[in-house]
DNA sequence: CTATCATTCAAACGTTCGTTTGAATAGGTC
DNA sequence: GACCTATTCAAACGAACGTTTGAATGATAG
């Protein structure tokens, strides 16, 4: 009847997923080979194909394992905020923080490899391979819709076009911060000890994003419409 | 004496660079093979190794061709602003626009493949391969230093740590916008005709970034320091 | 003990990779 | 004409890739 064995049955899968997370982050999806991967995980070369079917399927599994719960957390947090508000509109910064905190919790989760995934995720948004981009798009779509309507309700005076663009910018800020922190240091000077303190980072990101989101409409743009 | 022939001597190199720009953007550095590359350029497979030495050297050449003049433009624009100001501090948004405009001019340069490079560049900031990141870092370093000191002079009351972080965020916003526009559409709704109008995009980006840069210091962070 | 099952393993599959080679080609100089 | 140099070309190199195979392994059930 295949009862659950004494040692966890998925140890191999988990080891593969952890190794994949780390090596995909370090070398990219094409750059990390099955042989590197399985060697790091301490499993046989054929194990990935046996347990996941193919390398592409493994990539999907890597994202599903982290992203599904992450977006569920986001939606739950937004639900909680809206329930507390009892119909009153939410503060934009609170909505932003509801979106951010799930990402930043993962940055801090060093022990379980969450930081590896954070960096991997930050890079995945700009991945050239179409299947991966489509996958990411599909996994984010529901949460994005919810946050878009929440922000639209919080900022009724902001034209929908502008809101979409500013969400785009906010997402870019987050994505780059997740991907590049401690890898690229284009601008020298950030104190290393602050770099992964999730609370400090969330404050900084939320402050920056809120200000950008609430910025007055671009004057030149209005002139351009009037002209 | 090897006088310049009638037909431009570098046609082959240029064709290779153009093809590389496009295919690196579409498939990544590892995903675009020499055979794809040379086929697209209409040259022999051995031409890349003959003219550039290796694939890695070609990647370097792709970045140098565009990035060196781009950062030179940025510095020249900043020089011009500072000369005009005659010692008075510059407006932060003007500094930001001096940085942005070179990127956005390239987005609009469709004919010469500038847009291909823009998207490629946006992705390169989060590239896993170390040599590429180091290359990018080296090429940006001088311009970044100059803009950092310019912004520090324009915002003397902003702590240096915060400035560095906010520059980081601004850079992320730009990088993601360059990389992801028209590829990922995580947030549906942006009008396609606006997506590549450089003036509109510059206004939107400058507005967002300026607001973020000038945001009040994060309250929670200050509380944290006091505690 | 025997049969059954999921899993692991070493080995090999065919393909594609970046690079190298040596001959062929073309243009310029004397 | 002969000579030189730069470039192009078809072909091949060894290495690494993702995947498949069929036998070994070990725990569970009858």
pLDDT digits (tens, 9 = 90+) for B108-141: 888 888 889 999 998 888 887 778 888 998 999 9
Q: Which of A24, A94, A164, A176 to mutate to probe the B interface, most B CBs <10 Å?
A: A176
A223 touches strand C (CB under 7 A): no
Separation CA A92–CA B157 (nearest Å):
26
Q: Which of A135, A147, A173, A217 to mutate to probe the B interface, most B CBs <10 Å?
A: A173
In contact, A164 and A172? CB cutoff 8 Å: no
pLDDT classification of A179: cutoffs 50, 70, 90 = confident
pLDDT value of position A223: 43
Residues of A in contact with B219 (CB under 8 A): 203
Q: What is the CA radius of gyration of chain B?
A: 20
In contact, A45 and A35? CB cutoff 8 Å: yes
Residues of B in contact with A205 (CB under 8 A): 169
Distance B181 CA to D10 C1' (A): 41
Which carries the bigger pLDDT value, residue B182 or residue A48? Answer: A48
Distance B59 CA to C16 C1' (A): 20
pLDDT value of position B190: 61
In contact, B128 and A27? CB cutoff 8 Å: yes
- Whole-angstrom CA distances from B33 to B36, B37, B48, B123, B127 are 5, 6, 11, 18, 17
Angle between the N-to-C axes of helices A92-108 and A160-180, in degrees from 0 to 180, rounded to the nearest 10: 20
pLDDT value of position A191: 61
Q: What is the CA radius of gyration of chain A?
A: 20
Q: Would you tell me how many other CB atoms lie within 10 Å of the CB of residue B134?
A: 11
Contact A189 B140 (CB under 8 A): no
Residues of B in contact with A168 (CB under 8 A): 176-177, 180-181, 186-187, 190
Distance A35 CA to D23 C1' (A): 22
pLDDT classification of A110: cutoffs 50, 70, 90 = confident
- Given a cut of 50, whether residue A225 has pLDDT beyond it is no
Residues of B in contact with A221 (CB under 8 A): 200, 203-204, 207
A47 touches strand C (CB under 7 A): yes
- Given a cut of 80, whether residue A100 has pLDDT beyond it is yes
pLDDT value of position A186: 59
pLDDT classification of A69: cutoffs 50, 70, 90 = very high
Report, as an integer, the average pLDDT of A44-57: 97
Cβ-nearest to B126 among A140, A180, A208: A180
- Given a cut of 70, whether residue A221 has pLDDT beyond it is no
């Amino acid at each position: 009847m295949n009862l659950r064995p004494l040692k966890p049955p998925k140890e191999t899968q988990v080891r593969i997923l952890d190794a994949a997370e780390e090596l995909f982050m370090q070398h990219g999806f094409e750059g990390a080979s099955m042989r590197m991967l399985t060697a790091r995980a301490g499993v046989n070369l054929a194990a990935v194909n046996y347990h996941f079917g193919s390398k592409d399927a493994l990539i999907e599994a890597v994202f599903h394992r982290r992203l599904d719960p992450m977006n569920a957390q986001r939606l739950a947090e937004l639900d909680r905020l809206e329930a507390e508000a009892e119909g009153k509109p939410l503060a934009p910064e609170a909505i932003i923080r509801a979106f951010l905190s799930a990402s930043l919790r993962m940055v801090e989760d060093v022990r379980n490899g969450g930081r590896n995934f954070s960096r991997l995720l930050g890079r995945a948004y700009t991945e050239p391979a179409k299947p991966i981009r489509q996958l990411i798009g599909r996994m984010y779509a529901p949460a994005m819709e919810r946050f878009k309507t929440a922000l639209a309700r919080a900022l009724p005076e902001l034209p929908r076009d502008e809101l979409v663009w500013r969400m785009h910018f906010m997402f870019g800020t987050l994505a780059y911060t997740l991907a590049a922190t401690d890898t690229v240091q284009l601008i020298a000077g950030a104190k290393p000890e602050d770099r992964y303190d999730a609370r400090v980072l969330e404050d900084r990101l939320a402050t920056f994003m809120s200000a950008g989101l609430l910025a007055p409409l671009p004057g030149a743009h209005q002139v351009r419409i009037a002209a």
